DNA sequence: CTGAAAGCGCTTACAG
DNA sequence: CTGAAAGCGCTTACAG
């Protein structure tokens, strides 16, 4: 099939190509009647502007880039990213933007992708996930002046716009709930060290431990995978002073932790309480369902996309705080065991 | 920062823009020495060809489209798609192709996206997931002559290329294993009705029931979500002649089924054996780990992407059979209970 | 309000 | 082997 162009429309409407462009883009320069006629013809023949031609003259690609830096198997099981992408998509498609996705092996590859996208003019801006402490991607994006929206913070985002949530507050909410249930030996299985939000949570956990005098509150670093989360749990539960409650930095590790407790013959929540961070469907899939710190991740993605489009449109690169996570108690948490 | 163009390279090399293009694209028409010099300069200044300009003259966008037709929450928890995408990505990025992703609400929206992408020349080809019986997307893609690779089949793919696996054979492998363990009352919680592979599996299950004389082998239709999978399980296990083994059409429903069994006080596998289809990390996350019909989904995506690129390059739109799923026995299956 | 024309940065026949 | 030029399909100043 031959694709229609503005030349076809111009011929049928008896006007110039320029007039067609003005009419279709809502620019002044054509009369209302002419505009109407042109739009009608465009709809009738199913016209869609060639995105390459548009990008080449307008210098805007109408695409946004997102890089994911996780191995295939891990990406699949972690609901966070797909939920985020769904939300991002909702906003982008409503504004006729495309999402260009690239899975990369490491931060260096990610920087290379940013440079290539910039050079190719492939995308108008990028979303940056998994912000690290002193993230090396930040200065590169600043230097390229590629519009960017960092999903993470606060801090370490340089001059880039960002969207963040107060993880420290959420952590306090979860731990204080466990303390209220009588738990004193509370452990945390943390996410990947080096990620900013992991560090923020670890810091908040340590501060809280000191404030509440929970001498044994310890963070075991992990990597978000079920394997590592299970292993960390096994180690924790094998200690003579085993914790009566464990807080996990994601849902995947919490589910793996539940399986380890069952494997070791411990009842949840009678012997061990479990709290997951990220309240995906995964938490309601298991028995008992997991108490979780949750928030609306698709909405977070939508918000981030909207802000990125604003930056692309020339708006200021501000920082915004999104809604905090809140605790949803379910069957995996209960009073601390008597003899503990 | 100013983006370098072939004009910049041409000036520095003292040649024409055409020569630069030939040199960089490996076309004949420049001497080896000139080519070397041009490539060196391009690397030195970090040149990347403007993708829009390239697409506009070459009529190829170097992007491939993928649509996902599932709600945000469901997409997040189903590992299949992210694993597929990872595999697709591996092949595409190795060949400098971008992946354009769009989440859609229904098949009509999906068709509209295909038409728009075609009109915009946004993508050179598309990957088609979730093939249905008499899929309405197929004739549209045929008519548009948009290169496509259907992930599914066999059959119902018209003149489009496709990649498929023999789900009937995999189903037979799983059910015969359960029968060998002594199970006679075997149920299946099926995927979304209307999807071709669901129908193929249902047909194979019915045929096998007749062949083996398993009078009570019944398929309960479901929708791949944990909620529905759990509900179907609850109904099955509440019947007086409850099954001693259940086969689930995906991993998510199988995990939900395990939780329901635990909730109802049934031991797995002593009272109930469970088999999952799709062997993601999810199956090893729970206790007991789930026996599963698995195959390498990232490799499947890689294969599909490679085939699509071959079609885009002008190759024939053939059908290919990929490696079948095979059963990995784990703790969720065992001998049928004595009193059954 | 409208038309003719330049230009975005490439690719690719077409001459030399 | 190399250069000059047309063309891809838009957008956007610039004249009328």
Residues of A in contact with B263 (CB under 8 A): 287
Does A286 contact B at CB distance below 8 Å? yes
**Phi, psi dihedral angles at B189 (to 5 degrees):** -100, 110
Task: Identify which of A56, A63, A103 has the shortest CB distance to residue B53.
Answer: A56
- The answer to whether strand D lies under 7 Å from the CB of residue B34 is yes
Task: Identify which of B72, B79, B262 has the shortest CB distance to residue A77.
Answer: B79
What are the pLDDT tens digits along chain A (340 aa)?
Answer: 678 899 999 989 999 888 999 999 888 888 888 899 999 999 999 899 999 999 998 768 999 999 999 887 788 898 999 999 999 999 999 998 999 999 999 999 999 999 999 999 999 999 999 999 999 999 999 999 999 999 999 999 999 999 999 999 999 999 999 999 999 999 999 999 999 999 999 999 999 999 999 988 999 999 999 999 999 999 999 999 999 999 999 999 999 999 999 999 999 999 999 999 999 999 999 999 999 999 999 999 999 999 999 999 999 999 999 999 999 999 999 999 987 5
DSSP state of A41: H
Confidence (pLDDT) at A215:
84
Complete DSSP assignment for B18-38: HHHHHHHTT-SSS-HHHHHHH
Confidence (pLDDT) at B88:
97
Q: Which nucleotide is nearest to A5 (CA to C1')?
A: D9
User: Which domains, ranges and CATH numbers included, belong to chain B?
Assistant: 6-49 (1.10.260.40), 61-340 (3.40.50.2300)
- Closest-CA residue of A relative to B42 is A119
- Residue B340 CA to residue B335 CA, distance in Å, equals 11
pLDDT digits (tens, 9 = 90+) for B304-324: 999 999 999 999 999 999 999
| Residue A338 burial (CB count, 10 A) | 6
B314 burial class (0-12, 13-18, 19+ CB within 10 angstroms)? exposed
**B340: pLDDT strictly greater than 60:** no
Does B263 contact A at CB distance below 8 Å? yes
Structure tokens at B250: 């995906």
- Residue B104 CA to residue B89 CA, distance in Å, equals 20
Q: Using the beta-carbon criterion (under 8 Å), do A82 and B98 form an inter-chain contact?
A: no
- For residues A62 and A124, is the Cβ–Cβ distance under 8 A? yes
- The answer to whether strand D lies under 7 Å from the CB of residue A6 is yes
Residue pointed to by tokens 């059409």: B249
Tell me what percent of the residues of chain B surpass a pLDDT of 70: 99
Crossing angle (nearest 10°) for helices B196-212 and B167-180: 40
Select from A42, A283, A74 the least CA-distant residue to B82: A74
Chain D: nucleotides under 7 Å from a protein CB? 1-5, 7-14
pLDDT digits (tens, 9 = 90+) for B261-287: 999 999 999 999 999 999 999 999 999
Does A21 contact B at CB distance below 8 Å? no
Q: How far is CA A334 from the centre of its chain?
A: 30
pLDDT digits (tens, 9 = 90+) for B118-147: 999 999 999 999 999 999 999 999 999 999
pLDDT digits (tens, 9 = 90+) for B220-231: 999 999 999 999
Q: Using the beta-carbon criterion (under 8 Å), do B3 and A280 form an inter-chain contact?
A: no
pLDDT digits (tens, 9 = 90+) for B160-170: 999 999 999 99
Sheet containing A291-294, strands listed edge to edge, beginning at the edge strand earlier in sequence: A218-221, A186-190, A245-248, A273-277, A291-294, A326-328
- Residue B13 CA to residue B7 CA, distance in Å, equals 10
DSSP state of B336: P
Confidence (pLDDT) at A130:
96
DSSP state of A60: -
Confidence (pLDDT) at B28:
86
Q: Which nucleotide is nearest to A32 (CA to C1')?
A: C1
| The dihedral formed by the CA atoms of B25, B31, B34 and B35, expressed in degrees to the nearest 10 | 20
- For residues B222 and B249, is the Cβ–Cβ distance under 8 A? yes
Q: Is the peptide bond before B231 cis (omega within 30 degrees of 0)?
A: no
**Phi, psi dihedral angles at A299 (to 5 degrees):** -65, -35
Confidence (pLDDT) at B1:
63
- For residues B151 and B304, is the Cβ–Cβ distance under 8 A? yes
Task: Identify which of B63, B119, B280 has the shortest CB distance to residue A77.
Answer: B280
């Amino acid at each position: 099939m031959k694709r229609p162009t503005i030349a076809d429309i111009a011929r049928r409407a008896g006007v110039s190509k320029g007039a067609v462009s003005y009419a279709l883009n809502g620019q002044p320069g054509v009369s209302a009647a002419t505009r109407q006629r042109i739009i009608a013809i465009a709809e009738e023949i199913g016209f869609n502007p060639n995105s390459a031609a548009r990008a080449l003259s307008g210098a805007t690609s109408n695409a946004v880039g997102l890089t994911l830096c996780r191995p295939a198997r891990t990406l699949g099981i972690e609901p966070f990213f797909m939920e985020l992408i769904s939300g991002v998509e909702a906003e982008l498609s409503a504004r006729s933007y495309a999402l260009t996705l690239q899975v990369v092996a490491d931060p260096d590859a990610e920087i290379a992708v940013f440079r290539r996208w910039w050079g190719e003019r492939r995308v108008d801006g990028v979303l940056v996930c998994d912000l690290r402490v002193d993230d090396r991607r930040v200065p590169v994006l600043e230097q390229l002046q590629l519009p960017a929206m960092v999903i993470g913070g606060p801090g370490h985002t340089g001059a880039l716009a960002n969207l963040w949530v107060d993880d420290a507050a959420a952590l306090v909410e979860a731990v204080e709930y466990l303390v209220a249930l009588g738990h004193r030996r509370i452990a945390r299985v943390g996410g990947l060290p080096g990620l900013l939000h992991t560090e923020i949570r670890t810091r908040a956990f340590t501060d809280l431990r000191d404030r509440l005098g929970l001498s044994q509150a310890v963070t075991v670093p992990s990597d978000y995978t079920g394997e590592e989360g299970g292993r960390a749990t096994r180690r924790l539960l094998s200690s003579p002073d085993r914790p009566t409650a464990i807080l996990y930095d994601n849902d995947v590790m919490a589910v793996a932790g539940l399986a380890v407790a069952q494997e070791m013959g411990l009842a949840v929540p009678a012997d061990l309480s479990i709290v997951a961070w990220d309240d995906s469907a995964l938490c309601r899939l298991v028995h008992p369902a997991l108490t979780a710190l949750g928030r609306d991740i698709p909405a977070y993605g939508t918000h981030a996309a909207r802000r990125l489009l604003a930056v692309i449109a020339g708006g200021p690169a501000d920082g915004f705080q999104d809604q905090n996570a809140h605790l949803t108690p379910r069957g995996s948490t209960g009073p601390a065991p008597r003899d503990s």
